[in-house]
Amino acid sequence: MNLNKAESLALVTAIASGVDAGSSVEVAVFPPSVYLDSVIAAANGILVGAQNVSEKENGAMTGEISCQMLTDLGATLVILGHSERRAIMRETSGDVNLKAKQVIGSGLTPLVCIGEVLEEREAGRTMEVVLQQCAESLAGFSEQDAGQTVIAYEPVWAIGTGKVATPEQAEEVHAAIRAWLSQQFGEAVSQSIRILYGGSVKPDNAAELLGQLNIDGALVGGASLKAGSFLGIVAAAGQLSAV
């Protein structure tokens, strides 16, 4: 819930102009829903997604936004189950599952967020919590459904705190998620699914994080509010993809 309309347009314009046209890095932005239409019009090739969506197709759901509305505008992705929505709005993995099915059925790409809080990590429950969230969020998915899904691991204790999971800590969880996906949907599908890392990603740590075997990209928070810092992360990804 940052930036007004003019600031949002200035940001996406700067990002779009700063991304190398020949880059293999896929770049997406997720503005507040009230600015989606304007940002999509100004995106110039940058993918645009929504921060949330309703689990209902349509109807008497005052204040909600449907997948049909998002596709009508030209959005292509939707973030689901972000840690703030889980913690503040009390959304559950069951809620995420219903939304994800609606999103996939509408031809959009769900970006499903999972992650543990500090108390769970300190108690040694990281894998238990993360894999349970995976199981509940992707319950009833076919191999095709899973293949259309992006997963973002965001250790809640590393969001907006300045703390960052070490590359080794992040990779350990990403590898466990990949192994779980392989068990559930097969090795080919698990390798095709992008697993992003989110948690205080910045230009100065992006290369080391993105260089890990099972980290396929980043879900960027505060660093995405300034074109320079966000483009620094994109550049780090681009350098790695070129190797």
Q: What is the C-alpha separation between 208 and 194, in angstroms, rounded?
A: 17
152-170: b or e for each residue (b if 16 or more CB lie within 10 Å)? bbbbbbbbeeeebbebeeb
Q: Is pLDDT at 2 greater than 90 in this prediction?
A: yes
* Known catalytic membership, residue 82: yes
Q: Could you report the per-residue pLDDT of 3-46, keeping only the tens digit for each?
A: 999 999 999 999 999 998 788 999 999 999 999 999 999 999 89
* Amino acid found at 107: G
Model pLDDT, residue 46? 95
Q: What is the C-alpha separation between 79 and 150, in angstroms, rounded?
A: 9
Q: Residue 96's pLDDT band (boundaries 50, 70, 90)? A: very high
Is the Cβ–Cβ distance between 37 and 75 less than 8 Å?
Answer: no
Q: Could you report the per-residue pLDDT of 132-167, keeping only the tens digit for each?
A: 999 999 999 999 999 999 999 999 988 777 777 899
* Cα–Cα nearest to 151, from 91, 224, 81: 81
Q: What is the mean pLDDT of the chain?
A: 95
Is the Cβ–Cβ distance between 226 and 14 less than 8 Å?
Answer: no
Options 116, 154, 171, 174, the catalytic residue: 154
Model pLDDT, residue 199? 87
Options 82, 91, 116, 171, the catalytic residue: 82
DSSP-assigned letters across all residues of 89-156: S---HHHHHHHHHHHHHTTPEEEEEE---HHHHHTT-HHHHHHHHHHHHTTT--HHHHHT-EEEE--G
Is the Cβ–Cβ distance between 71 and 108 less than 8 Å?
Answer: yes
Q: What is the C-alpha separation between 76 and 50, in angstroms, rounded?
A: 8
Ordered structural domains, the chain, with CATH: 5-241 (3.20.20.70)
Q: Is pLDDT at 220 greater than 90 in this prediction?
A: yes
pTM of the model: 0.95
Model pLDDT, residue 241? 79
* Residue 31, token pair as written in the block: 């503005």
Look at 24 and 242; give whichever has higher pLDDT.
24
Q: Is pLDDT at 131 greater than 70 in this prediction?
A: yes
* Known catalytic membership, residue 154: yes
Model pLDDT, residue 165? 85
